[in-house]
C-alpha cells in the first residue's frame, strides 16, 4: 500500500511538472472576490504548500448517507430502496491511494460576471457532468470519518460553499405559503438534480459568518434548519470573515466560538465540525485555537480546517492527510481562466484514473 501511495504521489508530481506548474499560482484567496487579494497570494507554490506551509487549500466532504434518510421524502420508495441496498454493505473496496476533490463555490447568479460566480445554468451542467462521469457527492463529515459509501466504479466528490451568499441558498414562499429553497439557488438546483438523479446524492457544507447569511424569506433559525434537515452541513467561516494571520488567541476564540454557539442555539444543538479559513489564511502560532477551544462557556471543535486552493485532497486514509490544511479546488466561473480549477483537475482525473479515489468493488 505504501508503495502504491508513493507511486501515485510521484505520478501526480510528474503530471504537475508536465502541465506547467512553473506558473505556481495554485493558491488564491477568497478575499471576498477582491482581485488585489488574489494577486497578493499568487506566488504561493503548491509544492511549498504540500511541504509545511499552511496556506491555501480547503476541503469539505459529504456522504451520500443522508440521502436515504433525511431526504427520503424527495424520492420515490423504490429509488430509496435501491440507495439503501447500495449503502448497507461493508464490503467496499476502494482505490485508497486516490484523491478526492473538494469543490469550493462562492457566488451564484444568472450571469457569470466574475471568476467567483457560477451561473445557475452552468452549475446544473456541472452536476450533470459529474454525474455522467461517475462522481457522487458525499458529505464532508463522511470524508472526515472515513465513512465513504458510493456505488462500484464511482468516485466521491465534496461540495463546499463559502460566505452564505444569496445565490447559494435562500428561502421563498411557495403557493401553499411554505418556505422552500429558491429554485434559482444552488440548493434549489441540487434539490432538482437530486429528484432527477437520486443516486447522485444531496450533500454540501455551507461555511457561514454570523453577520448575515442566505438573505431572503424566513428566520436564521428556519434557514439553518432547512439545510440540516435535508442532510446539508453547516461549517464555520468565522464571525466577521477575519484574517487569522495576526489574530490574538482571544480574537480567535471569539471569531470561531460565536459561530459555533449561534448555530448550536438556532438548531437545537447542531455541532459544527469544520472551518473554512477566510482568505485561506491560518494562524501560524495559534492554529490549535482555531481547531478547538471554548467561548462563553461552550466548547468548539473543528476536525478540519479548509484552505482556498488548489488541488484534490488526499484519501482519508492517506499518511499525507493533514486535516488542519485541507485543500480545495475552485469552481470555474466567468471567462477568466483560473489555474488549477475544477475542470482542470477533472480532466487530469479522466486521463489518469488511478489518481482518483474510486470504489473498485
Residues of this chain that bind Zn ion (CB under 5 A): 30, 162-163, 278
**Smaller CB distance to Zn ion: residue 106 or 254?**
106
Residue 208 belongs to what H/E stretch?
A: strand 205-208
Q: Give the whole-angstrom CA distance, residue 28 versus residue 35.
A: 10
CB of 248 to Zn ion, least distance (A): 21
Nearest distance from C-beta of residue 162 to Zn ion, angstroms? 4
Print burial letters for 247-256: b (CB count within 10 Å at least 16), e (below 16). Answer: beeebbbbbb
CA distances from 343 to 19, 129, 157, 227, 328 (A): 14, 10, 13, 27, 13
CA distance 348 to 351: 5
Work out how close the CB of 209 gets to Zn ion at its nearest, in angstroms, rounded to a whole number.
Answer: 8
Residue 171: strand pairing partners: 181, 217
Interatomic CA distance for residues 259 and 324, integer angstroms: 18
- Minimum CB–partner distance for residue 168 and Zn ion (Å): 12
Q: Do the Cβ atoms of 231 and 202 come closer than 8 Å?
A: yes
Q: Which is nearer to Zn ion, 231 or 278 (CB)?
A: 278
Nearer CB in complex with Zn ion: 30/37? 30
Q: Given the complex with Zn ion, which of 56 and 349 has the nearer CB atom? A: 56
**Distance of closest approach, residue 278 Cβ to Zn ion, in angstroms:** 5
Which residue number, 69 or 113, has a Cβ lying nearer to Zn ion?
113
- Sequence-ordered list of residues with C-beta below 8 angstroms from that of 282, at least 6 positions apart, any chain: 54, 55, 244, 245, 290, 305, 324, 325
Give, for 258, the enclosing helix (H) or strand (E).
helix 249-266
Q: Considering the complex, what minimum distance in angstroms separates the CB of residue 16 from Zn ion?
A: 26
Query: What angle is formed at CA 31 by the lines to CA 339 and CA 135, rounded to 5 degrees?
Result: 50
Identify which of residues 276 and 355 has a Cβ nearer to Zn ion in the complex.
Answer: 276
The answer to whether the beta carbons of residues 120 and 108 sit under 8 Å apart is yes
DSSP assignment letter at 181: E
Nearer to Zn ion, 23 or 34 (CB): 34
Q: Please report how close the Cβ of residue 115 comes to Zn ion at its closest, in angstroms.
A: 14
Dihedral sign (CA 23, 24, 28, 34): negative
- Positive or negative, the CA dihedral 2, 59, 309, 331 is positive
Min dist CB 33 to Zn ion, Å, is 9
CA-only gyration radius of the chain, Å: 19
Residue 153 or 215: which CB sits closer to Zn ion?
215
Beta carbon nearer to Zn ion, 115 or 162:
162
Q: How distant, in Å, are the alpha carbons of 25, 66, 194, 226, 302 from that of 141? A: 29, 11, 20, 18, 11
Provide the minimum distance between the beta carbon of 219 and Zn ion in the complex, in angstroms, as a whole number. 23
Residue with the CB atom nearest Zn ion in the bound state: 162
Amino acid at each position: 500500500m505504501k508503495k502504491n501511495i508513493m507511486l501515485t504521489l510521484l505520478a501526480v508530481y510528474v503530471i504537475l511538472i508536465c502541465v506547467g506548474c512553473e506558473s505556481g499560482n495554485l493558491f488564491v484567496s477568497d478575499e471576498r472576490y477582491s482581485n488585489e487579494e488574489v494577486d497578493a497570494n499568487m506566488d504561493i507554490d503548491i509544492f511549498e504548500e504540500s511541504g509545511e506551509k499552511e496556506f491555501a487549500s480547503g476541503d469539505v466532504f459529504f456522504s451520500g448517507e443522508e440521502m436515504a434518510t433525511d431526504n427520503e421524502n424527495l424520492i420515490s420508495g423504490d429509488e430509496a430502496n435501491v440507495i439503501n441496498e447500495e449503502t448497507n454493505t461493508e464490503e467496499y473496496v476502494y482505490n485508497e491511494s486516490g484523491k478526492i476533490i473538494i469543490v469550493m463555490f462562492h457566488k451564484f447568479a444568472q450571469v457569470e460576471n466574475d471568476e467567483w460566480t457560477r451561473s445557475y445554468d452552468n452549475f446544473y451542467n456541472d452536476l450533470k457532468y459529474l454525474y455522467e462521469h461517475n462522481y457522487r457527492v458525499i458529505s464532508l463529515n463522511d470524508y472526515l470519518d472515513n465513512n465513504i459509501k458510493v456505488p462500484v466504479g464511482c468516485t466521491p466528490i465534496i461540495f463546499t460553499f463559502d460566505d452564505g451568499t444569496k445565490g447559494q441558498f435562500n428561502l421563498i414562499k411557495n403557493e401553499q405559503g411554505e418556505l422552500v429553497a429558491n429554485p434559482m439557488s444552488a440548493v434549489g438546483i441540487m434539490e432538482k438534480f437530486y429528484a432527477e438523479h437520486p443516486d447522485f446524492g444531496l450533500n454540501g457544507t455551507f461555511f457561514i459568518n454570523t453577520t448575515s447569511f442566505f438573505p431572503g424569506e424566513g428566520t436564521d433559525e428556519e434557514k439553518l434548519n432547512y439545510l440540516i434537515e435535508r442532510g446539508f452541513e453547516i461549517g464555520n467561516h468565522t464571525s466577521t470573515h477575519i484574517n487569522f494571520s495576526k489574530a490574538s488567541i482571544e480574537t480567535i476564540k471569539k471569531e470561531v466560538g460565536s459561530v459555533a454557539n449561534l448555530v448550536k442555539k438556532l438548531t437545537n444543538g447542531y455541532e459544527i465540525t469544520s472551518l473554512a479559513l477566510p482568505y485561506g489564511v491560518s494562524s501560524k502560532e495559534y492554529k490549535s485555537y482555531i481547531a478547538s477551544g471554548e467561548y462563553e462557556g461552550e466548547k468548539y471543535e473543528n476536525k478540519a480546517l479548509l484552505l482556498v486552493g488548489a488541488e484534490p485532497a488526499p484519501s482519508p486514509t492517506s499518511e499525507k492527510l493533514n486535516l488542519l490544511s485541507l485543500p480545495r479546488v475552485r469552481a470555474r466561473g466567468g471567462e477568466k481562466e483560473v489555474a488549477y480549477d475544477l475542470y482542470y483537475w477533472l480532466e487530469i482525473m479522466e486521463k489518469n484514473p488511478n489518481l482518483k479515489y474510486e470504489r473498485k468493488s
